[in-house]
Chain A
């Protein structure tokens, strides 16, 4: 049971907990630092101890002691089985070995296309963002992509300011027509409000579950595009006391991200 004093959770706690439950044990996961890494560290310590974590800069299957700050820092290959290259990791993904890729995003559209490049006009952006980094590669090459981000009307956008990383582009078959590997694409979008998936027939984003205390209307009000709302929407489970303890005491003791 959840202790009475802890009935509300921070978005980071809720998102990490929900994301940690998506991946099955034994999968390979290409992840960045920050929230995706925290979710995977939680998954490793709870439900899925046999997940193989891969970092783009070359760290494979590390036993991560504390949260890395950089996607290539020492913690990303601490007691790893291999410390290799970006070429090796991305080639491995291009070969089909990587089941899941984890991404963050500044903007997403109904087809799961994402923007991490610029807000406003590209030539003179209102906000210049870091660009693709490994994001486009992860979203192109991993079998299933999981996107973790904040949800609001600006971020869940009808029209991206820039399409950095392909989701389903403009619908069924579009990825394959573009030349992207068959059978790949966005799988889940986890936000502070809930968990979204994609409709098989249209490849448009669909609400799957809301977090406790969040209504379907809350989700709709924070989405600019038409989100598919099925008749049955489930509810994610509250983070357990043990998950909260792991997040605060073991995974991110310096509280870089966990709040």
Chain B
């Protein structure tokens, strides 16, 4: 039994091994790039894009804003619990196709007016469905260099029917079993707490899918709160989540997850997300948002100034550290 969804980002394992041999870095070289350069170099028309993080947490939002600023188009998004990132990418026209695990929602804040509108009006095409464990294990299969991984989810559901999975008879137990095809995104952006100039990266708190995603992605840009000295990594090697050979570029972007949460550093900016949820109810409001915060800002630093600058960042740090209570404009 086969799901009817298209097989996105799959490669024959031997073809992928050769791609890795011929394209991925082997030497520890300084990979630091400006954000604009990294986005223009590694995001290509027609790419399958997967963002690190989850929901409104540890997402490389700086690179999302840059993709919009550079007017990237015709991108397919892996909607792996993609919330604010998904909303902006769809409504700005960067993404026109999506595979959905969780998308078009803002978690506790409600549904996304902008990206729902894009789908309900047929302006963005939903290619298929998958579950969160499903997409995680697609990346894991890729990270293991395998064509697929078996799993016991999605069975019996229409999430399976609309997926690119297969159901077979397990040769050992004789029971029905789902096969999750490997997924190698063409490009991924993962935001980390710190890395060295080679890309050896540490993440504090939950890693979500990023251990596997970093290994699955053909091209990986690490955006980081801070580029640290090589010794910081070497002094605690057990904390390295992503090794240099997976990394194609390193971009230092303090507050690069804003308005999403960066665990231990700053909480999500609910004022800004609330503003977005409010203005994005109409196409005109959505366009005004992009004019103001993306095209109206020279770069991410300019965007940070527009959303409240250092004073706002200090406030979000207080909230993160439980010294102040967050606002919740969307709850009123």
Tell me the A residues contacting B by CB distance below 8 Å.
Answer: 33-34, 55-59, 65-74, 76-77, 83-87, 90, 94, 113, 117, 122, 124-137, 140-141, 162-166, 169, 174-175, 177-181, 253-257
Contact = CB atoms under 8 A, between A and B. Distances in A.
B207 A135 contact: no
A131 B128 CA distance: 10
A255 to B, nearest CB: 6
Given A69-B107, A179-B156, A254-B331, 20 more contacts: A57-B57, A57-B208, A59-B206, A66-B325, A69-B270, A70-B57, A72-B54, A73-B263, A74-B267, A90-B133, A122-B162, A124-B120, A125-B119, A127-B116, A127-B120, A128-B120, A136-B133, A140-B152, A178-B156, A255-B331
How extensive is the interface on chain B, given as a class? 35 or more
Contacts of B284: none
30 contacts: A55-B206, A56-B132, A57-B55, A59-B206, A67-B108, A69-B328, A70-B54, A72-B53, A72-B54, A73-B261, A74-B57, A76-B206, A86-B136, A113-B157, A125-B119, A129-B105, A129-B111, A130-B104, A131-B100, A132-B101, A132-B102, A132-B131, A133-B81, A134-B133, A135-B131, A140-B131, A162-B158, A179-B152, A179-B155, A179-B176
Contacts of A181: 152
B156 A175 contact: yes
A77 B205 contact: yes
A39 to B, nearest CB: 14
A174 B155 CA distance: 11
B208 A166 contact: no
Contact of B157 (A55, A66, A71, A136): A136
Interface in B74-114: 79, 81, 83, 100-105, 107-109, 111
A180 B119 contact: no
Contacts of A86: 54, 132-133, 136, 208-209
Given A33-B107, A86-B209, A256-B328, A140 B153 contact: yes
Given A87-B140, A134-B131, A177-B176, A66 B155 contact: no
B129 interface: yes
In the A-B complex, the 5 residue pairs with the smallest Cβ-Cβ separation, listed nearest first, are A179-B176, A178-B156, A133-B102, A58-B206, A130-B105
B213 to A, nearest CB: 10
Contacts of A127: 116, 120
Nearest to B54: A72
A74 B205 contact: yes
Given A57-B57, A179-B175, A254-B326, A125 B156 contact: no
Interface in B46-92: 53-58, 79, 81, 83
Contacts of B167: 179
Given A72-B206, A87-B209, A133 B57 contact: no
A73 B136 contact: no
Contact of A134 (B132, B152, B177): B132
Contact of B207 (A84, A175, A257): A84
Nearest to B120: A128
B103 A70 contact: no
A70 B56 contact: yes
